[in-house]
Structure 1
Amino acid sequence: MSKYKFKILKLNVINNKKLNVEIEVKGSFQAVIHSPKIALFFDNGKEVRRIPMLVKSYYPKEDMDRFILFGENQYLMDYLFFHDKAAKDFKLYFEFIYGNDRVHKIPFEITEKRLTQKDENNCYEIKVSEDHTELIFHNTQTGNAARASMFPVVVSGLWKFLMAIVSIGLLPVFLIESILVLFKFPIKSPAKAKIGSVPRRLFNHTRWRCCAFCNMNLGLKQFRLRTFQLIYKISCKRKIKENRILFLSNRRDDLSGNLEFVYDVLKEKDDLEFVFLLDSEADIRQKISVSMMLKLAKYLATSKVILVDDYYFLLYRIGIRKETKLFQLWHACGAFKTFGFSRARHIQKLKQQRNSAHRNYDYTIVSSKEIADFYAEGFGISVEKAKPTGIPRTDIFFQEEYKEKKQKEFYDKYPQFKDKKILMFAPTFRGEGKISGHYPVERFNLKQVYEALGGEYAIIVKHHPFVQDRNEIPEEYKNDILDLSEEAEINDLLFVTDLLVTDYSSVIFEASLLDIPMLFYAYDLHEYISSRGFYYEYELFVPGKIVQSERAMLKALEKKDFEEEKIAKFKTRFFDDLDGKSSERVGKLILDSMKE
């Protein structure tokens, strides 16, 4: 019997297109838990999709011993499964996470009237399983009705085409309007039509008005994309080379990270052909050469395996051939901050549910079974496609020779650090990304931190690449404090680190592999939880002491109070295999997929 009371308040399908779900949960309240989670699992027998629910409210009842939680969301039926646009028969069940409790297929209460459909046109019959853990959806729609449902799509396409033709005829009118905007007439106009040269402002307003009129995205970026899609379709007429593996990245210009480690394993096979398209500037939305466009189309169409290590826009705008296997060798370890489809505030938006980014992967790799569901959820793929092979680039943490090499290189370059322990300060950024990324450096007073350590430690500052501001290093401590934000690989610095001070950075997973004590300086914890969110409750999850003020941080440093006993459990939770053979497992998975 579950210790949580899980009740479905509302469940109905609207026009066979939208599924509305509202949930109530009650249970024993724990003040340390700030963000309980509800996830829905949709299973059609071929794919199992995990999608989060937005928690609308969560608060303790008057006696503070119990909590009540309300969750709700609307789900687009046509976008539940990637390979089954019109969802036929499927099962729905729930998972509830409260702190360290994770109740899969939680039993629920529901009354028959909650399953009554308001819409007479609905073709779904919904039944409850005997154990009240599953809802069974049966689509009674006939094949003819399904084909008839395509009619609005065809009409919509024809209408858009007609409106595009009309908008071309209206170009002179739109141009006159853009001229009036130049003369400050009170006419609505986009922000980028108000800056730049006169010709550019005229062009931006005219294009914006034309796109708005026909409800289509027109312009150079769209033209480049359509051109590439055409070239790719032509390239698909070629045969796939059964031994060709494409290494693809617009994150890096050289063979490094997970791609390098996997290549080092696969290169031992004499019968494989390797193609490398590694270009951090290759973004068809901005600028891409014709030669690169032709190369991409050719090798995407003819490779048996495609390996990618980050978001790659073009992969989600083409139809990857069925015979080709697409692997996401994601660069991160563990599961910390939510991303992609896991961000419930985003999934609430119907537009976000239609997003095709990441959803065509055949496999993604993860560090442990514990987090496989979370990665599948974030990417919007079926849960069985997330494989707990381990992360290839972490193999270096089990190589003593590599560790000694990096230590020697560091101390040869900075000999003054040889006789001291090293504290590395490596916080993550605040803000939305590269443009707005920042860290309030005044929050970390290097002079006070150094003196709190009694001269026993030297300090390395390692800010995230998005952070442009830098801590001011006191003149008297310039030999004992270094800012290596621009100069060194953070994983290599871990080999000389004796204490890590961070906040929400995923470097904690790599640090745990070396059993490095950690102090979590989370001065804005509650704000960060509300704006970004974590897969786990931060205060129950991190492998070290949490401090929320500079004073508390200095006190912990003085007393050497880091709670390092938490590291061992954390490490085994997020890494299934501590053997340095993740690259081999990924290599085997790739080779096995080539035989399918």
Structure 2
Amino acid sequence: MLYALCRLLPQRQRIVCISRQSDSAPVDFQLIKDYCERRDPPWGVVILAKQLRNPATYLIEMIRQVYYIATSRAVVLDSYCIAIGLLHDRIRVPIIQIWHSLGNMKRFGYTAFGAEEGHSEATARLMHMHEGYDAIATSSLSFANEFAAAFNAEPAKLFEAPLPRVDLLLDETHRNRQREAIHTAYPQLRGRETIVYCPTFRKQPAANEAEATAALIDAVDFDRFNFVYKPHPVSKQVIDDPRVVTIPSGQFDALFVADVIISDYSTVIYEAGLLDIPVYLYAYDWATYREKRGLTIDFENDVPALFTDDPGAIMKAIEDKDFDAEAYRVFENANVTLPENASCTETICEAIIRAVMSCRENP
């Protein structure tokens, strides 16, 4: 009823971008907004970003979402949106899903039913999860079938376009500017190489999380290295150790100050590849994680990086600079296909606008 009422209002030359990933505008949406507003002719862009912490208060946000969905020319998502799911086939403008992570790694959506880290199939179908999309961006068509299955969509709806933030990772001037800004904010990081630790988000922390994290930190030679913790945007893990510098998501991206990255099962390893930073995988809970979370790659054999639960082995490899950059580049290229004649931001934005024009021609 609310959507029907809002449809009576004038429709604007505007795109609405909706995210549940954070309470601040995701950088991908900021880049879409900057491009579209500079375009000739320009397009307005409204960004609605809010995490779902309290269902009662989130209802107010959903009312805002419905208003903008009804009065905009297109909707862009980077995650599941409840309002879109509930309205699905009633929405009369194109809906473009760009997802929030690079590459192919974990099962999600419809391919994660039954896994502890996935959603309930009954709830997903009740909420019409990922229904109604007109186009879905993927960083590479090499895994189109797996990606389409996660959204329960036809592969034909997929188009190849890495996330806009890839442009920033490839921009040397931006990288240097961000690195200097981080050094200014955290001057203790100057003078030594910096290891950035980026663990993935776990719905339920591993039983040995605290012990494993402490062992990793204790293995670091702090006379030679800084150790920076980059928490996942929705993670509640806190590292309370005075030797560790925590740089949360927000104003800075800790990847820009990294000389080495330690991760586990996070798609941040693809961003590291774009930055040409050596990657080491700390798999302290591999035995349980692979059971809880369905995966689409074999970390032990597919990723050309050290994969171990031994923090001492990781630090020795880092100190010896034991990393096969060429093999990692091949792995990276299989998961992130860069556009040849345009930026990633332009590729996604023009795909959105083409979807709007096609919708106008075929009402």
Asked whether the two chains share a fold, i.e. TM above 0.5, the reply is yes
**Structure 1 residue 256 displacement after superposition:** 3.3
The equivalent residue for 1:325 is: 94
CA distance in 2, matches of 1:397, 1:348: 32
Output the amino acid matched with 2:268. Answer: V
CA distance in 1, matches of 2:94, 2:266: 31
Greater C-alpha Rg: 1
CA distance in 1, matches of 2:189, 2:62: 49
The equivalent residue for 2:151 is: 379
Q: Secondary structure at the match of 1:424?
A: strand
Structure 1 residues 301 and 348, CA gap change in structure 2 (3 angstroms): closer
**Structure 1 residue 425 displacement after superposition:** 1.7
The equivalent residue for 1:249 is: 19
The equivalent residue for 2:224 is: 456
Encode CA deviations 1:38-93: one digit per residue, 9 max, x unaligned. Answer: xxxxxxxxxxxxxxxxxxxxxxxxxxxxxxxxxxxxxxxxxxxxxxxxxxxxxxxx
The equivalent residue for 1:556 is: 317
2:3 to 214, 232, 255: 232
CA distance in 2, matches of 1:350, 1:425: 33
Provide the identity percentage: 25
The equivalent residue for 1:470 is: 239
The equivalent residue for 1:517 is: 278
Output the amino acid matched with 2:129. Answer: A
The equivalent residue for 1:278 is: 48
* 1:404 partnered with 2:179: no
The equivalent residue for 2:69 is: 300
Higher strand share: 1
Give the total of aligned pairs. Answer: 352
**1:331-410 matched pairs, under 5 angstroms:** 331-343=100-112, 345=114, 351=122, 354-355=125-126, 356-410=128-182
TM-score (norm 1): 0.54
The equivalent residue for 2:30 is: 260
**Structure 1 residue 520 displacement after superposition:** 0.9
CA distance in 1, matches of 2:33, 2:255: 24
CA distance in 2, matches of 1:349, 1:289: 22
**Does the CA contact (< 8 Å) of 2:25 and 2:49 recur in 1?**
no
Output the amino acid matched with 1:233. Answer: A
Q: Secondary structure at the match of 1:317?
A: helix
Q: Secondary structure at the match of 2:168?
A: helix
Instruction: Give 5+ residue unaligned stretches, structure 1.
Output: 1-229, 474-480
**Structure 1 residue 352 displacement after superposition:** 5.9
**Does the CA contact (< 8 Å) of 2:306 and 2:314 recur in 1?**
no
Q: Secondary structure at the match of 1:246?
A: strand
RMSD value, Cα = 3.0
**Does the CA contact (< 8 Å) of 2:65 and 2:83 recur in 1?**
no
**1:123-134 matched pairs, under 5 angstroms:** none
**Structure 1 residue 330 displacement after superposition:** 1.4
Structure 1 residues 390 and 342, CA gap change in structure 2 (3 angstroms): same
Encode CA deviations 1:146-184: one digit per residue, 9 max, x unaligned. Answer: xxxxxxxxxxxxxxxxxxxxxxxxxxxxxxxxxxxxxxx
The equivalent residue for 1:501 is: 262
Q: Secondary structure at the match of 1:354?
A: helix
CA distance in 2, matches of 1:275, 1:533: 35
Q: Secondary structure at the match of 1:318?
A: helix
CA distance in 1, matches of 2:43, 2:207: 43
The equivalent residue for 1:185 is: none
Output the amino acid matched with 1:366. Answer: T
CA distance in 1, matches of 2:352, 2:330: 30
Q: Secondary structure at the match of 1:245?
A: strand
**Does the CA contact (< 8 Å) of 2:52 and 2:58 recur in 1?**
yes
**Structure 1 residue 585 displacement after superposition:** 0.5
**Structure 1 residue 548 displacement after superposition:** 2.5
**Does the CA contact (< 8 Å) of 1:261 and 1:392 recur in 2?**
yes
CA distance in 1, matches of 2:307, 2:52: 41
CA distance in 2, matches of 1:325, 1:275: 15
CA distance in 2, matches of 1:569, 1:540: 14
CA distance in 1, matches of 2:133, 2:177: 37
The equivalent residue for 1:440 is: 209
CA distance in 1, matches of 2:291, 2:62: 41
Encode CA deviations 1:473-521: one digit per residue, 9 max, x unaligned. Answer: 4xxxxxxx4321437667x322221111111121101000011111111
**Structure 1 residue 297 displacement after superposition:** 3.3
**Does the CA contact (< 8 Å) of 2:140 and 2:162 recur in 1?**
yes
**Structure 1 residue 427 displacement after superposition:** 1.7
TM-score (norm 2): 0.85
Q: Secondary structure at the match of 1:594?
A: helix
CA distance in 1, matches of 2:54, 2:8: 22
Structure 1 residues 546 and 357, CA gap change in structure 2 (3 angstroms): same
Instruction: Give 5+ residue unaligned stretches, structure 2.
Output: 359-363
The equivalent residue for 2:344 is: 582
**Does the CA contact (< 8 Å) of 1:250 and 1:279 recur in 2?**
yes
Structure 1 residues 269 and 398, CA gap change in structure 2 (3 angstroms): same
**Structure 1 residue 317 displacement after superposition:** 0.7
Structure 1 residues 486 and 588, CA gap change in structure 2 (3 angstroms): closer
**Structure 1 residue 431 displacement after superposition:** 3.6
**Structure 1 residue 314 displacement after superposition:** 1.1
**Structure 1 residue 524 displacement after superposition:** 2.1
**Structure 1 residue 568 displacement after superposition:** 0.9
Output the amino acid matched with 1:521. Answer: Y
CA distance in 2, matches of 1:259, 1:439: 36
**Does the CA contact (< 8 Å) of 1:439 and 1:469 recur in 2?**
no
**Structure 1 residue 584 displacement after superposition:** 0.5
Encode CA deviations 1:432-466: one digit per residue, 9 max, x unaligned. Answer: 4xxx6887232133564223x8x332221223342
**Structure 1 residue 289 displacement after superposition:** 7.0
CA distance in 2, matches of 1:593, 1:406: 34
CA distance in 2, matches of 1:502, 1:293: 35
Structure 1 residues 348 and 457, CA gap change in structure 2 (3 angstroms): closer
Encode CA deviations 1:226-273: one digit per residue, 9 max, x unaligned. Answer: xxxx121233345655x3322333444444321111122111235455
Relative contact order higher in (CA < 8 Å, ≥ 6 apart): 2
CA distance in 2, matches of 1:250, 1:447: 32
Output the amino acid matched with 1:566. Answer: A
Encode CA deviations 1:258-316: one digit per residue, 9 max, x unaligned. Answer: 111112211123545525252416789422576x6654433322322111222211111
Higher helix share: 2
